[in-house]
Amino acid sequence: MKGIETYNPVVAHRGAFKKNGFPENSIAALREAIRLGCAGSEFDVRMTADDSLIINHDPDYNKLPIEKTTYAGLQSYKLANGEKLPTLQEYISAGLTNNPSTLLVCEIKPSTISKDRGREIARKVVALFKEMNAEAQVVYISFDYDILLEILKQNNNAITQYLNGDKTPEQLRIDGIKGADYHFSVFKQHPEWIITAAKNRIVLNAWTVNDSTTMDWLMDNKFHYITTNEPELLFERIKARRK
């Protein structure tokens, strides 16, 4: 854990979108997270019917099921700020530009079609980060444990964090998963996991934390990362603790 003067747990959830009214998961939201100096900027990856990796949270985009629609069919619909629906390649490229320190926190969504396709998506995502020389910049997260295990098969040095909240820190360590990135309520129900995570060298992250009381509780418990829709508020709370 870094000292209080350098402590920066801020992960912007789907980019820093809220304050300026940017679309979630847009390149504009990513660039704002980088401008703010967030420790990380989270985003969501899905794969289209023609195997294009794109950035979108929901399984549908403009009422079109992503995994059953081609990228050409999706990209005709613009984001609210006029951006086209970004591909992962475009997102990584933007994330590598004028970015001194913000990690790309890449959530690979479970496939709506099959577990095998989820693993295929994982392989394609890892290969693209390698191709773009961006492996040092990425943290992989997922609700699908098999996706994380597949990532580690492709790159056993990959930084991975599990989202679902049903694995102990000891189990994560055994399986090579580096972090517990759980809803903050999980840690309140299992405060002993905070202690055992430290013993097992498991990174602690919590989502999605938008109120100052919970932010303060997580910082009191020395969480490495806090994922939030309110990165500006979290920076204010960090600043207040330094006085």
Over residues 104-112, the mean pLDDT reads 98
Band (4; pLDDT cuts 50, 70, 90): confident
* Tens digit of each residue's pLDDT (9 = 90 or more) over 212-221: 999 999 999 9
Band (1; pLDDT cuts 50, 70, 90): low
The CATH architecture that domain 10-241 belongs to is Alpha-Beta Barrel (3.20)
Q: Compute the distance between CA of residue 85 and CA of residue 53 in angstroms, rounded to an integer.
A: 11
Over residues 70-86, the mean pLDDT reads 97
Over residues 155-166, the mean pLDDT reads 98
Over residues 190-205, the mean pLDDT reads 98
Q: What is the mean pLDDT of the chain?
A: 97
Band (5; pLDDT cuts 50, 70, 90): confident
From residue 58, how far is each of 1, 67, 97 by CA, in Å?
A: 34, 11, 27
Over residues 164-178, the mean pLDDT reads 98
% of residues, the chain, pLDDT over 70: 99
Question: 18 near 29, Cβ under 8 Å?
Answer: no
Q: Give me the residue spans of the domains in the chain.
A: 10-241
**Those residues with Cβ within 8 angstroms of residue 234's Cβ, 6 or more apart along the chain or in another chain:** 9, 10, 209, 215, 226, 228
pLDDT score at 2: 67
Count of beta carbons in the 10 Å neighbourhood of residue 178: 20
pLDDT score at 243: 80
Question: 150 near 122, Cβ under 8 Å?
Answer: yes
* Tens digit of each residue's pLDDT (9 = 90 or more) over 131-143: 999 999 999 999 9
Count of beta carbons in the 10 Å neighbourhood of residue 93: 14
Whether the pLDDT of residue 224 is over 80: the answer is yes
State the pairing for strand pair 138-142/160-162. parallel
